[in-house]
Amino acid sequence: MIPSEWYELLTRDREGYARARAEHFAAGNGRPRLTGMRFQNCDLSGMDLSNMDLCHCEFFGCNLAGCDFSDSLLRLARFRSCDMSGIKLVGSNCARGEIISCNLSGGDLSGVSMLLQKLYGSDFSGCCMDHADFSAAEAEGVPFRDLSGERAYWTKADLRNCDFSGSKLPRAIFRLAALSGANLAGVELDGSDFTYAVLHSTSLDEASLVEADLSQSFLQETSFARANMTRARLMTIDFEGADFSGAVMHGVVYDQIETREDREAHQAAREAAFQQNELLKLREQTAEKKVEGEGVKPLLGEFASVDETVAKPA
């Protein structure tokens, strides 16, 4: 079936779509293709859209509550003002698209790729994000409250002023992330990697940071009041004005002897982190050119070259 035929069944005949889908997979065919289709104000709630090719599709004002998009291809897809509560995006590839002003609360995003995704104005509260990849995502001010996200990847993501309160994010990767002004108070972050992250004025009050690595990070005016930092690594950091009052600091590693090569490598990475933070600020004031038919082009400068198969630490 061609994309337009799938579209007609999906939007007009639920039972017919279910039969056609079952027959399609029973015949050993690959993913049904609906690439480039536009869905506007459609009610697709509760439908099975798993294992489909939906790249370049547009969903505007749709009801997608409870939909199953597991293992689907959604690269360069656009979602705007959609109800996506309880959605399943397990293992889906949503890279380089946008999810703007959508409600994804309570969704299962385990293993999803949100690489270079625009997420402004959306709500991810209560989502499961185990092993999800949000590397280089643009999500300033987005609520990520009450998440469950073991080993989630946030490398180079713009997470300024985001609210992670009530979340459990053990072994998360925040390397080179922009977290200035974010609320991480009380969050479980044991074993997480914050190396080279920018956490200016970030709240980590009462957070659990057991064996977390904050080396070479930027902690000016950051609050760690009453945080559990047992065996955390705080090597070669700038923590001017940081508040560690009442924090548990047993076994914290503060510094180590460095070679000249180590210092030069650390300085280069610190400069790159600051440059990224400045580029993120500049992007807020820059109007992005919209070209019909083209995907989202994040203004991340040299950081836009992040490969979609970003290497994940062991």
DSSP SS3 for 138: strand
> How distant, in Å, are the alpha carbons of 6, 21, 27, 71 from that of 24?
11, 5, 5, 16
What average pLDDT score do residues 131-136 get? 98
Q: What integer pLDDT is reported at residue 237 of this predicted model?
A: 80
- Length reported for the chain: 314
Report the C-alpha gap between 138 and 118 in whole angstroms.
Answer: 5
Bridge partners of 63, per DSSP, are: 43, 83
Superfamily (CATH) of domain 3-93: E3 ubiquitin-protein ligase SopA (2.160.20.80)
Residue 197's nearest CA partner among 300, 278, 273, 281 is 273
For the chain, give the mean pLDDT.
Answer: 89
pLDDT band at residue 239 using 50, 70 and 90 as cut-offs:
confident
> Percentage of the chain with pLDDT > 90?
77
pLDDT surpasses 70 at 265 = yes
pLDDT band at 149 (very low <50, low <70, confident <90, very high): very high
Angle between helix 14-26 and helix 3-12 axes, rounded to 10 deg: 140
Distance of CA 104 to the CA centre of its chain: 13
Whether pLDDT at 68 is above 90? yes
Paired tokens of 298: 């994040």
pLDDT per residue as tens digits for the range 20-66:
999 999 999 999 999 999 999 999 999 999 999 999 999 999 999 99
Report the pLDDT value the prediction gives residue 263, as an integer from 0 to 100. 60
What residues are paired with 208 via a beta bridge? 188, 228
Tell me the percentage of the chain whose pLDDT exceeds 70: 88
Strands of the 38-40 sheet, one edge to the other: 38-40, 58-60, 78-80, 98-100
79 has pLDDT over 80: yes
Q: Output the pLDDT for position 31.
A: 95
Region of poorest pLDDT, from 62-66, 197-201, 251-255:
251-255
Task: List the helix and strand counts (H, then E) for the chain.
Answer: 3, 4
Per-residue pLDDT at 190 exceeds 80? yes
Q: Are 217 and 194 in contact (CB under 8 A)?
A: yes
Q: How far apart are the first and last CA of the chain?
A: 42
pLDDT tier at 257, thresholds 50, 70, 90: very low
Q: What is the pLDDT of residue 308?
A: 45
Give me the pLDDT at residue 275, please.
82
Task: Examine the pLDDT at 164 and tell me if it is beyond 50.
Answer: yes
pLDDT at 75 over 60: yes
Q: Is 264 helix (H, G, I), strand (E, B) or coil?
A: helix
Band the pLDDT of 306: cuts 50, 70, 90.
Answer: very low
pTM (predicted TM-score): 0.80
Q: How far apart are CA 205 and CA 164, in angstroms?
A: 12
Name the residue with tokens 């990767």.
Answer: 173
